[in-house]
Chain A
Amino acid sequence: MKAALAVLLAVPAALQAAPDTAHDGGHDWLNGTWRAQGDGLLHSLDGKPVPLTAKAASAWARVKPAFLAGDPKVDPARRCKPPGEPRLMADPGTPFSVIVTGPRVLFAYRWNRLVRMIEMESPREVIGPTYFGQNAGHWEGDTLVVDVQGLHEGVALDKSGLPHGEKLRITERFRARDKDRMEMVAQFTDPDSFTRPWSARLVFQRQPGLTVAEDICLDREHLVGKLIDPNKVK
């Protein structure tokens, strides 16, 4: 009892009185900083190859070696363009923090301060496409379900350049495996790129004590001094 009281008193008074919009339904488990496990690639859950259409398979074959080699002429992310989703989330080198509030859930990535805004409402008319798509979320018990549409077709699904089209729709389900691990299962539907819907799983490890520090890609990549082409700026 004394121990419990001591813990309670140790919590800053400000925190105790802060708005409680994040705690409706016990969704606090999602708050915190996470890092993907694995190789940063998407693998079909059924163990089979990703069911690409012939056109998408051809497009992937053309860019895959350059993506994996980090060629900035082919991979926009090497030019500080957003890698998009789910590629950025799947990258073990890029931790991200999640902030849960009642109306919104925000994924804040270390990578160039990028964010993904999940609005907790029904899917609405798409304004886009955008790099992180239009994200409509809802809770099913303690599972966060996100409907993603409007993803810019220039964004690869993973670091190998896995392609998709404008009709892509992703349904993601985030749940806690245990207190320090999170699982996301995503179903991908895109009749232009896939012959059937397929699913992939990502697992994330909580990063206690880690915060998302400021990152400026153009500085990090030493591009600041190389940006101006005076002939193109009138």
Chain B
Amino acid sequence: MPFHAKRQERLAALTIAGGLLWLPLAAMAQVSSASDADIQDAPPQFKSSLSNGRIKPDASELTRQNIQGAPPSQDPRDFNGMYNFLRDPGGSPGAPAGGGKAGGPPGGAAKPGGSGGPPGGGGPPGGGRPTNLGAGACVVNSFGGLTSYSTTILINPREVMFLMEENHVLRWATFADQHKADVQPSYTGDSIARWDGDTLVIDTTQVATRGRPGTDHYVEKAAKLPNGNIAIERFKADDSGALQPVEKVTLRWRPDLHYVEDICEDFGEAFGIGYQ
């Protein structure tokens, strides 16, 4: 479709640059091999490091950044911003748990735009043909994880929202003392938030998983680090109600990113996974 071709064309260079930046150390040699064209198209605050100091961003680029280029707020409770994820040591291996990893081209093709995180989010577990149930079908399947594209956090005195760019999964928590009485099970559950010091605690009940009966109860603790990153610990209640650690994730502060629309249903149709 012309729509996607255009978006891919305009974002490809930025994606490459962003992806290079966050590759594991073993692959960092590729950074030094980035071409001048890649570097010129990279977010301005990264040009210097990508080019080993040879290329400096010009002032007009930086001022154009506006809110996106601003440093993180020093308020430890101000989580507003854009992030992508970085799994902490000790977290479970593989993709984030229950990510609702819907959409995207099969075979793990890189997604245009977004956070430039690790590719391969689309397609079914283990690769192969996309299926209707599971990773390739543009539906939400289980607890909304923090995916490899980007997460935007919006927080105000009433509520906090985690917006996962991939398949636009919303995790929404209101600052309330108790869960609603009439809440029905859903894949993202019912979330309430509170502050424990400067740690944001999100309690989520009624979390359903597609294809499995029953619901789960999660608790997440999120704290802002001095560098603007957000460290999140996720716990899940076992059968006795005791909280067991599930994973640790760090959301990396990414002031260079803009939210990019990700419409799984488009990718699905383009790759034969759509309404026919």
Contacts and interface: CB of A to CB of B under 8 A. Distances in A.
Contacts of A102: 80
Interface string A128-154: 111110000000000000000000101
A66 to B, nearest CB: 15
Range, interface on chain B: 35 or more
Interface in A167-219: 211-214, 216-219
Contact of A19 (B64, B80, B133, B184): B80
B194 interface: yes
Contacts of B64: 124
B75 interface: yes
A175 B77 CA distance: 29
Contact of B274 (A79, A101, A127): A79
B273 A120 contact: no
Which of A112, A211, A212, A218 is most buried by chain B, counting CB atoms within 10 A of its CB?
A218
Interface in B242-276: 258-261, 263, 265-266, 268-269, 271-276
B67 A121 contact: yes
Contacts of A104: 80, 152, 154
Contacts of A72: 275
Contact of B156 (A14, A22, A225, A233): A22
Interface in B137-179: 137-140, 152, 154-159, 161, 163, 168-170, 172, 174-177
Given A104-B80, A233-B130, A18 B157 contact: yes
B66 A124 contact: yes
Contact of A18 (B3, B155, B169, B276): B155
Nearest to B75: A19
A15 interface: yes
A15 B66 CA distance: 29
A229 B192 CA distance: 41
A227 B137 contact: yes
A99 B161 contact: yes
Interface in B72-93: 73, 75, 77-81
Interface string A72-83: 100000011110
Contacts of B44: none
Nearest to B193: A14
A122 to B, nearest CB: 6
A100 B80 CA distance: 11
B77 A218 contact: no
A31 interface: yes
Nearest to B78: A19
A47 interface: no
A15 B276 contact: no
A113 B170 contact: yes
Contacts of B194: 12, 14
B139 A216 contact: yes
Interface in B1-27: 3, 6-7, 10-11
Interface in B47-78: 64, 66-68, 70, 73, 75, 77-78
Contacts of A224: 132-133, 137, 139
Interface of B: 3, 6-7, 10-11, 64, 66-68, 70, 73, 75, 77-81, 106, 113, 129-133, 137-140, 152, 154-159, 161, 163, 168-170, 172, 174-177, 184, 186-188, 193-195, 258-261, 263, 265-266, 268-269, 271-276
Given A117-B152, A131-B261, 7 more contacts: A19-B73, A19-B79, A99-B154, A115-B163, A216-B140, A219-B139, A224-B133
